[in-house]
């Protein structure tokens, strides 16, 4: 019963599925738990779709040398489609997915979903639309990387973090922030030092406390 | 008659359209010509779909300060979907499109195509799949920007140019190459000078002649 309402909420095509197809979906869904920083998906296999129930997933690119850049995050209610790239033949790239917090998800078998999407246009349209929405997210990151200075990108990142977690403190190490932004720890530390000198924030052991949000917004815009 | 065969070749959904919808497509298609460097699409309006008949289109991002980066190119037979972002509500970003060479295209009115895609799932699937294919192209550029050194990116760019145009010479100014790569002219000139000193290429007035393609490939891989 619980799954029925999850599907109804997340899948616009659910109302059009026949009973047999609904049954197929239910039988191919499992509930999974991930620890903080646990890998959810890598490029070794087609893991499947995820519906985030609680927690937070991070989708990122990883270079052969281990360099990372965060593309976007998924929150409760979001559907992770790029971890099931085998469902969509037009997707020819690999992303990585980690849990940023202890996360509970529904995992849907990619082969089952693929067979459904080949038979039912509304399912395919949903899968493609979800992917195209992420394309928009990635273009925003791309724009930041190519056109914005690192201090502006860092300001945007800190403001995004605050709006996600609430409060006035970002509890991340400089190393973690650097990995999100695809840069070196030293670069992040240097900019944070300048921002601290300007009275925008305080760098403490437990994280970065924003003391002048208006000023931070000015740097971001 | 000519249009019929163009549609048949480019639109997998064509065979499933009824006569009235085929008529709608034909009535909403115009043949357009663009000069070299003429703007095909900017962010001020939803221009429509283009099918490239001859020539070459360049799709790029543009910053407020006029900085550019090339995302991908479209060759004869390709369909330009991102110039009709109003067809796909999931696309929330703007790109720019120029003709890199004198180009002949078929332009399809976006409102007509939109109405078709809302009624006929196969049309919507085509539009979304075309967009997702470009997502893959953009991810490849993203990977280069974030993870690769500029000399590697320049080597990949020169090799791509050679394979597109044939011959051993890339007839572009350093300024043009810099705009493709989203960097400064000085950076391109400096790397080309080093490559010339290494015997990889010769920089002449009429362009960049590759003298050691193997060496250039080594830099790219």
Question: Using one digit for the tens of pLDDT, what is the confidence trace for A177-216?
Answer: 998 898 889 999 999 999 999 999 999 888 899 999 999 9
Question: Bridge partners of B99?
Answer: B57
Cβ contact, residue pair A182, B138, below 8 Å: no
pLDDT at A106 over 70: yes
The alpha-carbon gap from B91 to the nearest alpha carbon of chain A, in Å, equals 6
Q: Is the pLDDT of residue A63 over 70?
A: yes
Asked if residue B94 has pLDDT above 90, the reply is: no
The pLDDT score that the predictor gives to residue B138 is: 92
User: Testing the interface with B: which of A72, A94, A146 to mutate, by most B Cβ within 10 A?
Assistant: A146
User: How does pLDDT run across A78-90, given as a tens digit for each residue?
Assistant: 999 999 888 888 8
Q: What is the share, in percent, of chain B residues with pLDDT greater than 70? A: 100
Minimal CA separation from A98 to chain B, in Å: 19
Residue A2 has pLDDT above 80, yes or no: no
Q: How far is the alpha carbon of A146 from chain B, nearest alpha carbon, in Å?
A: 7
Q: Are B46 and B60 in contact (CB under 8 A)?
A: no
Closest chain B residue to A64, measured at CA: B147
Task: Tell me whether residues B135 and A140 touch, CB distance under 8 A.
Answer: no
* Binary contact (A140, B93; C-beta < 8 A): yes
* CB nearest to B125's CB, from A124, A139, A182: A124
- Between chains, do A132 and B132 touch, taking CB under 8 Å as contact? yes
A93, B136: Cβ pair inside 8 Å? yes
Enumerate the domain spans of chain A: 2-146, 148-220
Quick check: A166 pLDDT over 90? no
pLDDT at B33: 97
**What are the tens digits of pLDDT across the range B168-213?**
999 999 999 998 898 889 999 999 999 999 999 999 888 899 999 9
B139 to A61: CB separation less than 8 angstroms, yes or no: yes
Whole-number Å distance between alpha carbons of A131 and B191 = 37
pLDDT at B4 (0 to 100): 82
Contact A90 B140 (CB under 8 A): no
- Name every residue in B having a CB less than 8 A away from some CB of A: 61, 63-65, 67, 69, 88, 90-93, 121-122, 124-125, 128-129, 131-136, 138-143, 145-147, 182
Domain covering B148-220 in this structure, CATH number: 1.10.10.10
What mean pLDDT is reported for chain A? 92
pLDDT at A1: 58
CA-based nearest residue in chain B for residue A121: B121
The total of other beta-carbon atoms located within 10 Å of residue A96's CB is 18
Cα of first residue to Cα of last residue in chain A, in angstroms, is 47
Chains A and B: how many Cβ contacts under 8 Å? 106
Cα(A107)–Cα(B84) distance, integer angstroms? 34
Cβ-based contacts of B125 with chain A (< 8 Å):
121, 124-125, 128
Assign a CATH topology to domain A2-146.
Jelly Rolls (2.60.120)
pLDDT at A93: 86
Cβ-based interface (< 8 Å): residues of A facing B? 61, 63-65, 67, 69, 88, 90-93, 121-122, 124-125, 128-129, 131-136, 138-143, 145-147, 182
Q: What is the 3-state secondary structure (H, E, C) of chain B?
A: CHHHHHHHHHCCCHHHCCHHHHHHHHHCEEEEEECCCCEEECCCCCCCEEEEEECCEEEEEECCCCCEEEEEEECCCCEECHHHHHHCCCCCCCCEEEECCCEEEEEECHHHHHHHHHHCHHHHHHHHHHHHHHHHHHHHHHHHHHHCCHHHHHHHHHHHHHHHHCCCEECCCHHHHHHHHCCCHHHHHHHHHHHHHCCCEEEECCEEEECCHHHHHHHHC
Report yes or no on whether pTM surpasses 0.95: no
Give the nearest chain A residue to B70 (CA atoms): A146
User: Is A195:A201 a contact under the CB 8 Å cutoff?
Assistant: yes
In this predicted structure, what is the pLDDT of residue B1? 58
Residue of A nearest to B92 (CA): A136
Give pLDDT tens digits for A120-159: 999 999 999 999 999 999 998 998 888 898 999 999 999 9
């Amino acid at each position: 019963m619980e799954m029925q309402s999850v599907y109804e909420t997340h899948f616009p095509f659910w109302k059009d599925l026949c009973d047999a197809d609904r049954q197929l979906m239910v039988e191919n869904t499992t509930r999974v738990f991930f620890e903080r920083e646990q890998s959810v998906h890598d490029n070794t296999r087609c893991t499947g779709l995820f519906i985030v129930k609680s927690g937070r997933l991070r989708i990122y690119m990883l270079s052969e040398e281990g360099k990372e850049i965060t593309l976007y995050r998924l929150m409760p209610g979001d559907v992770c489609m790029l971890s099931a790239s085998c469902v969509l033949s037009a997707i020819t790239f690999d992303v990585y997915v980690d849990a940023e917090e202890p996360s509970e998800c529904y995992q849907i078998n990619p082969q089952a979903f693929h067979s459904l999407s080949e038979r039912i246009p509304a399912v395919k349209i949903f899968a493609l639309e979800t992917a195209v929405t992420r394309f928009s997210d990635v273009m925003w990151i791309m724009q930041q990387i190519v056109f914005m200075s690192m201090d502006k990108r860092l300001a945007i990142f800190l403001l995004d973090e605050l709006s996600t977690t609430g409060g006035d403190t970002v509890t991340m190490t400089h190393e973690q922030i650097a990995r999100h932004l695809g840069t070196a720890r030293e670069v992040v530390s240097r900019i944070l030092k300048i921002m601290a000198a300007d009275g925008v924030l305080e760098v403490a052991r437990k994280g970065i406390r924003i003391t002048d949000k208006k000023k931070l917004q000015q740097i971001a815009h």
